[in-house]
Amino acid sequence: MKFYCANSDFKKANIVLAGVPYDGTSSFRPGSRFGPEAAREASYAIESYSPYQNRDLRDIKICDIGDLPLSFGDKKLNFNIIESFADKIIHKRKKLISIGGEHLISYPIIKSFKKKYKNLCVVHIDAHSDLIDSYRGEKFSHATVMRRVAEIVGFKNLYQLGIRSLNKTDMLLPFRDTNMHLFNLNKAEEYAEKIRGLPVYVSLDLDVLDPSVLPGTGTPEPGGVTYKELLRCILSLKELNIVGGDVVELSPHYDSSGVSGIAAAVIVREFFLFE
Ligand SMILES: [Mn+2]
């Protein structure tokens, strides 16, 4: 199944959508490997037209290339598959939008983008800071991913929003005051002003939403933002030079209503329409 209206030929497409169904380091409950398919399925329940942007998916060329063929257990092998795939898409000058999978999938993708864009900025929207240095002995985990990303792009080029679950030590990081905004998304516009013109990668962990809005995720964290707040934040980034992005941590089986998949599908649609 392809994402709704994402049926362009690869050669003609400006945007490539890829599913990255990996959840090997999920610390609490796995299941995000089923995220990409759930988002695709849910995309048939929404309209191709966005009233927020007055644009329609039918008017743009998106190629859903399906899910990357990943291993369940071999993290390094998966990193290689994901990174070399991203390399190819970037080389072809297409915008890559990925659906996770757990948050760790952002690491090999951002590594690839950083090779191409020396001054890459990352906007990270999430309930969790994902900044600890190692989680239960693992340097590469969905709980450490933004620490690893910061090591690649530089802490000052990482902009965090919506964080409400973190370690006390995160509060002592030198970029805390300028680049880490807690509890809400109110600094999105200010960040956007700062990074205007620079190449930007947006990494969106859906658990930034309140669990009452999006229960279908692996590490739900109460006290989250509303759907409208997230949408407003996303739309405030649309004038930026967004070179790629991901939507991660949709874990559909924890939400029997299916509404989480629909929330993810609308967000992905809005990302597409930035183009
Ligand atoms: Mn998270």
pLDDT in tens, 95-123: 999 999 999 999 999 999 999 999 999 99
pLDDT score recorded for residue 210? 98
Domain locations in the chain as residue ranges: 15-272
pLDDT score recorded for residue 65? 98
End-to-end CA distance of the chain: 23
Cα angle 179-190-121, degrees, rounded to a multiple of 5: 50
pLDDT score recorded for residue 194? 97
Which pTM value belongs to this model? 0.97
pLDDT score recorded for residue 266? 97
**Pseudo-torsion of CA 28, 29, 34, 40, nearest 10°?**
-70
User: 54 alpha carbon to ligand 1 midpoint, in Å?
Assistant: 30
pLDDT score recorded for residue 203? 98
User: 71 alpha carbon to ligand 1 midpoint, in Å?
Assistant: 23
Three-state secondary structure of the chain: CCCCCCECCCCCCCEEEEEECCCCCCCCCCCHHHHHHHHHHHHCCCCCEECCCCEEHHHCCEEEEEECCCCCCCHHHHHHHHHHHHHHHHHCCCEEEEEECCHHHHHHHHHHHHHHCCCCEEEEECCECCCCCCECCECCCCCCHHHHHHHHHCHHHEEEEEECECCHHHHHCCCHHHHEEECCCCCHHHHHHHHCCCEEEEEEEHHHECCCCCCCECCCCCCCECHHHHHHHHHCCCCCEEEEEEEECECHHHCCCCHHHHHHHHHHHHHHCCC
User: 248 alpha carbon to ligand 1 midpoint, in Å?
Assistant: 9
Query: What CATH number belongs to 15-272?
Result: 3.40.800.10
Q: What residues does 180 pair with on adjacent strands?
A: 160
pLDDT score recorded for residue 27? 76
Closest CA to 101 of 272, 264, 266: 264
Alpha carbons 253 and 201: distance in angstroms, whole number: 28
Closest CA to 86 of 202, 251, 243: 243
- How do residues 155-196 score in pLDDT, each as one tens digit? 999 999 999 999 999 999 988 989 999 999 999 999 999 999
User: 151 alpha carbon to ligand 1 midpoint, in Å?
Assistant: 19
Per-residue pLDDT tens listing for the chain (275 residues):
999 999 999 999 999 999 999 999 887 889 999 999 999 999 999 999 999 999 999 999 999 999 999 998 899 999 999 999 999 999 999 999 999 999 999 999 999 999 999 999 999 999 999 999 999 899 999 999 999 999 999 999 999 999 999 999 999 998 898 999 999 999 999 999 999 999 999 999 999 999 999 999 999 999 999 999 999 999 999 999 999 999 999 999 999 999 999 999 999 999 999 97
User: 61 alpha carbon to ligand 1 midpoint, in Å?
Assistant: 30
User: 55 alpha carbon to ligand 1 midpoint, in Å?
Assistant: 29
Alpha carbons 52 and 119: distance in angstroms, whole number: 30
Which residues have CB less than 5 Å away from ligand 1 (the ion)?
126-128, 205, 207
User: 163 alpha carbon to ligand 1 midpoint, in Å?
Assistant: 9
User: 210 alpha carbon to ligand 1 midpoint, in Å?
Assistant: 11
pLDDT score recorded for residue 26? 83
